[in-house]
Amino acid sequence: DFLFFWGAVFLVTTTLVAFLKKENQELIPAKEETKGITDTYKLLFSIIKMPAVLTFCLLILTSKVGFSAADAVTGLKLVEEGVPKEHLALLAVPMVPLQIILPLVISKYTAGPQPLNTFYKAMPYRLLLGLEFAFLVWWAPKVKHEGGFPVYYYAVVVLSYALHQVTLYSMYVAIMAFNAKVSDPLIGGTYMTLLNTVSNLGGNWPSTVALWLVDPLTVKECAGAQGHTCATAAAAEV
């Protein structure tokens, strides 16, 4: 119902924009060098070939490997350990105002000549929070009781997620600020889109790999089933 409602709102608002918003008919001289799709891709290729851009792309494509598992798998493992999905969803509500405020606060520190300083200062703390998340998953069955989980456990989870948001947004805002700073104004849109796409890809592919590796790296024990290792999904089902 939630998805259906907002899907309808999205369709209605975008349709209204399509029919009611008129383009500015005044001819504005083009400031960008590109005139079409072919020119844009040629320009992108020439940007990628630059040694500094190649090095930067390599760095941001691999910089998030260290906390990909913690980011992608923690919530799923907490649900596996018995934490209700609806409770985890509710815990996301206090994060919303934090997510609004954090970029405003962090932008003060990324506005200077070296915005990436904030990025790599936040990295070790985010890595340590990965260990904290692993502890939360390990701790869950220890504190679970018949009525569910105690309030103090949820308090620790909320605090952990809040600290994680601080490190996440510190890195996110810093990388966006750096991309905006180094992009050539003449081709700013194309340049920034390329760097932001690589940055997003650098966060998505490690999470995908982490999710793919969960089953092969998970150790399961069989109770009362001799001769079965439970190493595969089929064996665990048996």
C-alpha dist (Å) from residue 7 to 34, 49, 64, 170, 184: 35, 41, 32, 31, 37
What is the rounded average pLDDT for all residues in the chain? 87
Q: What is the pLDDT of residue 30?
A: 55
Q: What is the pLDDT of residue 173?
A: 92
Residues of the chain with pLDDT under 70: 25-35, 188, 225, 227-228
Residue with tokens 């750096």: 178
- How many Å apart are CA 119 and CA 175, to the nearest integer? 7
DSSP 8-state code for residue 104: H
Per cent of the chain over pLDDT 90 is 47
Q: What is the pLDDT of residue 188?
A: 64
- How many Å apart are CA 34 and CA 42, to the nearest integer? 9
Instruction: Return the amino acid letter for 175.
Output: I
Give me the residue spans of the domains in the chain: 65-187
Q: What is the pLDDT of residue 27?
A: 61
Residue with tokens 């909320």: 158
Q: What is the pLDDT of residue 140?
A: 92
43, 34 Cβ separation under 8 angstroms? yes
Q: What is the pLDDT of residue 16?
A: 95
Q: What is the pLDDT of residue 216?
A: 83
- How many Å apart are CA 21 and CA 19, to the nearest integer? 6
Q: What is the pLDDT of residue 212?
A: 93
10 Å CB burial of residue 87 (0-12, 13-18, 19+) is middle
Q: What is the pLDDT of residue 70?
A: 92
13-28 burial, b for 16+ CB within 10 Å, e for fewer? eeeeeeeeeeeeeeee
Nearest to 165 by CA among 202, 109, 116, 126: 126
Q: What is the pLDDT of residue 167?
A: 94
Q: What is the pLDDT of residue 189?
A: 76
What pTM did the predictor assign?
A: 0.77
- How many Å apart are CA 226 and CA 90, to the nearest integer? 41
Q: What is the pLDDT of residue 31?
A: 57
